[in-house]
Structure 1
Amino acid sequence: MKAILNDLLAEQSLVDSLVDNLTEQQWQEVIKPMGLQEEVPGLWTIKDEIIHIALFDEAAGKLILGEAESLGDANPPGTHDEFYRCPEKRNMSKAEVLSWWRQVRTKLNWALYNSDPKARIPWAPNLPMSARSLASARLMELWAHSTDIYDHLKIPVKVAERIVHTLFLSWQARPNSYRIHGVEMPDTPIYLELILPSGQIWSKGTAGAQQYIKGKAEDWAMVAIRRRNWLDTDLVVVGDEAKRYASFVQTYAGKADEAPPRQRMR
């Protein structure tokens, strides 16, 4: 747990520094998903991204400390709209949003530090998580939303060795990814082999399997957080089942999200 928390704190500090240096005007800029040429209803601003992270960091802290019994209690109806934005916080200034996020994430980090890593935390409906996995999930979601900001600002996405937490969730959440797409997960062996920023290999599954996914950890992580189409990456995906897994892998709970539209031909 301490190792995960060190990584979570590092990612929080990195994103905090990124957005703290932006102007109030930049905080209000609308982020268009990759490939989208015009604005459509429900698009988020940079402020929305950070508010969303803070809202769920606050909820996670409440759940770990027993201040709420479910995510619905921690984030009651009206807390967010149909696009998962938080209307009641959108009038806050940059300084106010950052102050709130720093407070709630400090409470979350303290709660995680003092929790049993194996304690079951009620998160998404019917999907309780261990405190350890919830810590990884908070890091993953922060990195996912920060990639939206990096992409919008046309800054290369920051990728560190702690991306392993997102990779871990991409594999752990595989059964749920199939379930939310209405597909029964087969027993077909799959091998996932990824190169970390350090050059080390991270792998899961059956080594030597005929169905496999290989490539850079950053590419797979971007696919798993639904920010890239695997066909736009340099991943090597072999086998029909491996391709299906790559097409709807999703690290986070909730409804099935479509993969981003394909941007290039292979």
Structure 2
Amino acid sequence: MLDYGLDMSGVRRDLALPALVAEGDELEALVAAQSDWTLPTPAAGWTIAHQIAHLAAADANVLIAIRTPAAFEDVLKKVAAEGDRSADLDAAAGAAEPRSELLERWRTGRAEVAVALADIPLRQGFPWFGSELTATLMVPLRLMETWAHGQDIFETLGVRHPATDRLEYVAALGVAGLGLSFYAAQLPTPAEPFRVELKAPHGHTWAWGPEDATQRIYGSALDFCLRVTHRASRAETDLTAVGPDADKWLDIARVFL
């Protein structure tokens, strides 16, 4: 099982799933109160409607992958045929729907995804883009994407995006994405261990890696999440790197290909 090299084996589904649901509910409460979904967001060419349509399309793909894995091959073929335009095309198609219909489709899809991810055996794999995943990884991936696209919408509306302990799942993905980051940058993955220490929203510390590691990153969990989801440049964060490999990682950090 490839899982993009992201080791999230320590994730507890019974805790992560409610966090995913809460993240979606929070974003829905924000957008449902907005009558104008045509406002442009930080993603070039994407309005609020595009952002919601993208999330809805991803949820639909999760359901296909889990419920009818063989049919996911058609999804892969469609994406391959569309190339780099695929996400934009799906988002544009959804954004053209009436707002009420798109909102209901997203709401229904989110609920069905939560049920599907709760019901599937933890070790049962299902196809995904370039990999095979399990619920253990898909739950935090969906949470991360919901949070990241939600960040775009909160920013568009000038509303503070509340930082909650749900960010721990996004931060954990960011830490697990070390190898993915170097792979995407076509660089060898460093052999040395890393230590990551992040200040959580309520003042405590989340930490990963051996305490005596010489390659270290520390700062706020929120800034780390913004960085690994490419919602903030490194210069816009308070993150500090110690060691040349850690310094390079902050330049290229990501949680998706």
Counterpart selection for 2:234 from 227, 230, 252: 230
Distance 1:164-1:100 versus aligned 2 partners, 3 A rule: same
Find the counterpart in structure 2 of residue 120 from structure 1: 125
Indicate the SS of the match to 2:166.
helix
8 A Cα contact 2:54 2:87, kept in partner: yes
Indicate the SS of the match to 1:27.
coil
- 2:207 is the counterpart of 1:197: no
Deviation of residue 59 (structure 1)? 0.6
After TM superposition, list the pairs within 5 Å mapping 1:15-54 onto structure 2.
15-23=27-35, 26-32=36-42, 42-54=44-56
**What is the alpha-carbon distance in structure 1 between the residues aligned to residue 32 and residue 192 of structure 2?**
46
Find the counterpart in structure 1 of residue 167 from structure 2: 163
Equivalent residue letter for 1:248: I
TM-score (norm 2): 0.87
TM-score (norm 1): 0.84
- 2:224 is the counterpart of 1:214: no
- 2:150 is the counterpart of 1:140: no
8 A Cα contact 1:178 1:185, kept in partner: yes
Distance 1:199-1:148 versus aligned 2 partners, 3 A rule: same
**What is the alpha-carbon distance in structure 2 between the residues aligned to residue 84 and residue 66 of structure 1?**
21
8 A Cα contact 2:76 2:129, kept in partner: no
- Select the structure that is richer in helix: 2
**What is the alpha-carbon distance in structure 1 between the residues aligned to residue 16 and residue 82 of structure 2?**
28
Q: Relative contact order (C-alpha < 8 Å, sep 6+): which is higher?
A: 2
Deviation of residue 206 (structure 1)? 2.2
Distance 1:71-1:173 versus aligned 2 partners, 3 A rule: farther
Deviation of residue 208 (structure 1)? 2.3
Find the counterpart in structure 2 of residue 111 from structure 1: 116
- 2:94 is the counterpart of 1:84: no
The runs of at least 4 aligned residues of structure 1 exceeding 4 Å deviation read 77-81
**What is the alpha-carbon distance in structure 2 between the residues aligned to residue 55 and residue 244 of structure 1?**
33
Gaps of 5+ in 1: 34-41, 255-266
Find the counterpart in structure 2 of residue 39 from structure 1: none
Equivalent residue letter for 1:181: A
8 A Cα contact 2:64 2:72, kept in partner: no
Find the counterpart in structure 2 of residue 55 from structure 1: 57
8 A Cα contact 2:54 2:94, kept in partner: no
Counterpart selection for 1:2 from 14, 19, 26: 14
**What is the alpha-carbon distance in structure 2 between the residues aligned to residue 180 and residue 12 of structure 1?**
29
Alignment RMSD (CA, Å) = 2.0
8 A Cα contact 1:59 1:71, kept in partner: no
Equivalent residue letter for 1:57: D
**What is the alpha-carbon distance in structure 2 between the residues aligned to residue 235 and residue 229 of structure 1?**
11
Percent identity (aligned):
25
8 A Cα contact 1:59 1:74, kept in partner: no
Equivalent residue letter for 1:31: T
Deviation of residue 200 (structure 1)? 2.1
Find the counterpart in structure 1 of residue 10 from structure 2: none
Equivalent residue letter for 1:149: I
Deviation of residue 180 (structure 1)? 1.3
Which range moves more in the overlay, 155-164 or 14-23?
Answer: 155-164
Find the counterpart in structure 1 of residue 190 from structure 2: 186
Deviation of residue 107 (structure 1)? 1.4
Equivalent residue letter for 1:151: E
- 2:99 is the counterpart of 1:94: yes
